[in-house]
Amino acid sequence: MDVKQQRPWFNVEDEEKIDSPALLIYPERIAQNIREMLAIAGNPDRLRPHVKTHKMVEIIRMQQDAGIRKFKCATLAEAELLAQCAAADVLVAYPLTGPGPARLSRLQKKYPATRFSCLVDNPQALETLEEIVQAEGIRLGVFMDLNVGMNRTGIVPGPGAVELYKKMDSAKSLDCRGFHAYDGHLRNPDPQIRAKDCDAAFKKVEALRETLLAQAISVPDIIAGGSPTFPIHARRTGVELSPGTTLLWDARYGSQFPEMPFLPAAVVLCRVISNPAPGICCLDLGHKAVAAEMDFPRVLLPQLPGSRQISQSEEHLVLQGDPKKTPPIGTVLYAIPMHICPTVIKYPQALTVIEGSVCGKWNIAARDYHLPIKGPVF
């Protein structure tokens, strides 16, 4: 049997030559995840994937090659990166305040082939946006951001939302494009309960749409859900789908939603740097190397299934396990992050791995809030 076939999917040849910690990306697995996204959606036109998870040109282009033309992002740097990739339609799914509306307006001027849109959830933001867009002499798309239970951003569906949408619809310099409804709080591991909760939250969105349609006010598009509810919203008609984590996946979603067909496509290569006491080992995998905003465990360590993560600091992750099985100093380990999105931005580049060999580097192009561009800074 071929030696490569016996290795775990994440193993890399010549691993001793890779400095650690290092972010590894597996393009073949990303390609498989894109195929799964398309299979669930049924049509690339239904997809508006989020780029916040990866922020990479190459992954944007992989999706474009699969027929995906619409995208969602969280920062204006991501929006500009998408425009540089000739994305046809870009939604900045984040409230724009301060210089934000003016920056987006200038992006629309700079990249006229891309249709930019943003979110609004209050009258003041709408008025500010309209004034700036009129002054710039352009048009921007606008979606009403709905609070469907997450209580993070958005306006609660109801009379206030009806009045706000009417103002959006009558704005002369804005194209009122519909609703944005993110339900990231719906993460029940039981897919039937998750579907029930998702349907209940979405009924308020449907009721709001019917109220507006009854008054002859158009609601062209509804963008709904994230990764956990992606397959549920895919069963509906007339809804755009915006998964993001599905592209790289991670250990948390993999354990919470085992029925979803996505593969982890990113790991952090790290090493044992110390064995300070019996049964204790320390890895070079601190807060600066992997997402640390959640409780332990921070990563899944397939090579050390019996270990327990007991502490972490800026440069160190300490494990406790069987004293007889403590890995020696210098041992290379592959860590699958529990939360991949904030892990990716800790690295300026990712090493790409195909069939066990490092074959290139991909820049995390939009890891900062401004792209490193020449000329005026947006």
Q: What is the pLDDT of residue 7?
A: 84
Cis peptide before 327 (omega within 30 of 0): no
Q: What is the pLDDT of residue 35?
A: 98
List per-residue pLDDT tens for the chain, 378 residues long. 233 446 899 999 999 999 999 999 999 999 999 999 999 999 999 999 999 999 999 999 999 999 999 999 999 999 999 999 999 999 999 999 999 999 999 999 999 999 999 999 999 999 999 999 999 999 999 999 999 999 999 999 999 999 999 999 999 999 999 999 999 999 999 999 999 999 999 999 999 999 999 999 999 999 999 999 999 999 999 999 999 999 999 999 999 999 999 999 999 999 999 999 999 999 999 999 999 999 999 999 999 999 999 999 999 999 999 999 999 999 999 999 999 999 999 999 999 999 999 999 999 999 999 997 544 333
| Tens of pLDDT, residues 246-269 | 999 999 999 999 999 999 999 999
Tally of CA atoms within 13 A in the half-sphere of 231 that contains its CB: 17
Torsion of CA 243, 245, 251, 253, to 10 degrees: -20
The answer to whether the predicted template modeling score (pTM) of the entire model surpasses 0.75 is yes
Q: How far apart (Å, rounded) are the C-alpha atoms in residues 57 and 66?
A: 14
Residue 253, token pair as written in the block:
């979603």
b vs e for 326-364, b when ≥16 Cβ sit within 10 Å of the residue's Cβ? bbeeebbbbbbbbbbbebbbbbebbbbbeebebeeebeb
CATH 3.10.310.30 fits 28-244, yes or no: no
Domain map (residue ranges) of the chain? 3-24+265-363, 28-244
What is the domain class of 3-24+265-363 according to CATH? Answer: mainly beta
**Two domains, one topology: 3-24+265-363 and 28-244:** no
Helix (H) or strand (E) holding 124, with range, is helix 123-136
Q: What is the pLDDT of residue 295?
A: 94
Cis peptide before 159 (omega within 30 of 0): no
Q: What is the pLDDT of residue 336?
A: 98
Tokens 């992750």 label which residue?
Answer: 317
